[in-house]
Amino acid sequence: MTTTSVRPASARRESLFVGALCLAVLAASAAAIGLHRRADDIRSLPAWQIDARSDLTPGEQGVLADLAIAAGEIAWLAEAGALPDVADLAAEGLPPFAPQASDGLRGGHVWSRSGGLYLGRSGDPRVAGSFLMIPGDPPAIWLAPGTADAPADPSQDALRSAGWRQVVSRYEASVTRHDPGAAQ
């Protein structure tokens, strides 16, 4: 541990100590960042997946964040019964199902549920593609360019061949933090 209580003999000594501590912290963090860079522990994704951090438009990132939360809320609602309809979710005030003032800036998606799938059809493919959310633990979120239709077959293979890509958010791909859980 770098922190111990040190009784300063004088203010001068204390500021020297603080200065040294600052240098030590800087050196340690520089070394840590250097190590991480070299380790380059971030695997590249298969072609049918897409990285939420680097490969989505700002509009898509906004919708994704709302959709991930909605998936959590849907899981809580589903504890009480069946999967809620889009109208139920809108009534809860839950974006992206409830209309928001920012919708137009994020692709103007039109949402519908077909069976166990929630489809968000893009209204402006230049701003954002279409989304598909499959509730579960964890939920799966897929993205397709343009104005896609609901897939007849929601299996992973069918989605992949229909041009959908699964959105992947990688918590472990950060240089500030070690994540033992993500190592495997």
Tell whether residue 49 is a contact of another protein (CB under 8 A). yes
Name the residue number minimizing CB distance to Fe ion: 178
Q: Which of 7, 37, 43, 126 binds another protein (CB under 8 A)?
A: 37
Of 3 and 10, which CB lies nearer to another protein in the complex structure? Answer: 3
Tokens of 52: 């939420």
Tell me how far, at minimum, the Cβ of 68 lies from another protein, in Å: 5
Tell whether residue 155 is a contact of another protein (CB under 8 A). no
Tell me which residues in 124-183 interact with Fe ion (CB under 5 A). Answer: 178
The residues near 114 (Cβ < 8 Å, ≥ 6 apart) are: 150
Which of another protein, Fe ion, none binds 19 (CB below 5-8 Å, type-dependent)?
A: none
Q: In what order do the strands lie in the sheet with 117-121?
A: 49-51, 165-168, 140-144, 130-134, 117-121, 110-114
Tell whether residue 42 is a contact of another protein (CB under 8 A). yes
Q: Measure CA 140 to chain center.
A: 11
Which of another protein, Fe ion, none binds 110 (CB below 5-8 Å, type-dependent)?
A: none
Tell me how far, at minimum, the Cβ of 40 lies from Fe ion, in Å: 10
Tell me which residues in 94-123 interact with Fe ion (CB under 5 A). Answer: none
Residue type, 25: V
C-alpha to C-alpha distances, 153 to 1, 18, 65, 139, 156, nearest whole angstrom: 55, 63, 25, 17, 9
Q: Which of 61, 112, 147, 156 binds another protein (CB under 8 A)?
A: 61
H helix intervals, the chain: 11-39, 58-79, 86-91, 156-161
Which of Fe ion, another protein, none binds 175 (CB below 5-8 Å, type-dependent)?
A: another protein
Tell whether residue 177 is a contact of another protein (CB under 8 A). yes
Report the DSSP beta bridge partners of residue 11: none
Q: Measure CA 100 to chain center.
A: 20
Q: Write out the residues near Fe ion by the rule CB under 5 A.
A: 178
